[in-house]
Amino acid sequence: MRKTQTVLIAENKEARARYEIAERYEAGVSLEGSEVKSLRSRGNVSFKDSFVRVENGEAWLYNLYIAPYRYATLKPPDPLRKRKLLLHKREIIRLFGKVKEKGYTIIPLKLYWKNGWIKVEIALAKGKKLHDRREELKERAIKRELERELKGKLKL
């Protein structure tokens, strides 16, 4: 048996702050050769404003920026083009049904290598309200202060 090797390419850190994640899915991404070469050579990747939309029974990833490959001989593809996600039909149907509900959206969380294939982890998520985010920041600050106090007492 072969071990599963995963190597992280990029992570959407802003997603945890802005969204409450309900479900996670792993999907393959349909990329062109120069995009794969760009990712292999540690090209720049940005998740800013990226999302997933289900159209005609297919899942599409929008606004994922993959820097063009520097040494491409042919004209490189648009860095923000829509890319097809490779999911099972039942997963697409489930995601489509959930997105129809009010407040749910599908966002990409991670882009990574898995056994030589590029995968994207997508999540069914619900946007957090501003007051929810503020509460979370307050709780983190309180927890940090408590840890500092405990650490200070242990040194005495």
- Where do the domains of the chain lie, and which CATH numbers do they carry? 6-128 (2.40.280.10)
Q: Using pLDDT thresholds of 50, 70 and 90, give the confidence band for residue 77.
A: confident
Q: What percentage of the chain exceeds 70 in pLDDT?
A: 96
Report whether pLDDT(156) > 60.
no
| Whole-structure pTM value | 0.76
pLDDT of residue 18: 86
Report whether pLDDT(58) > 80.
yes
Least confident of 21-35, 106-120, 125-139: 125-139
Q: Using pLDDT thresholds of 50, 70 and 90, give the confidence band for residue 59.
A: very high
More confident residue, 134 or 155: 134
pLDDT of residue 2: 62
Would you say 32 and 136 are in contact if contact means Cβ atoms under 8 Å apart? Answer: no
Report whether pLDDT(45) > 60.
yes
Query: Which residues neighbour 21 within 8 Å (Cβ) at sequence distance 6 or greater?
Result: 15, 109, 123, 124, 125
Rounded to an integer, the average pLDDT of 111-135 is 87
pLDDT mean across residues, the chain: 87
Question: CA–CA separation, 53 vs 84, rounded Å?
Answer: 10
Report whether pLDDT(111) > 60.
yes
pLDDT of residue 155: 64
The DSSP secondary structure of 57-94, one letter per residue, reads: TEEEEES-EEPPPTT-SSPPPPTT--EEEE--HHHHHH
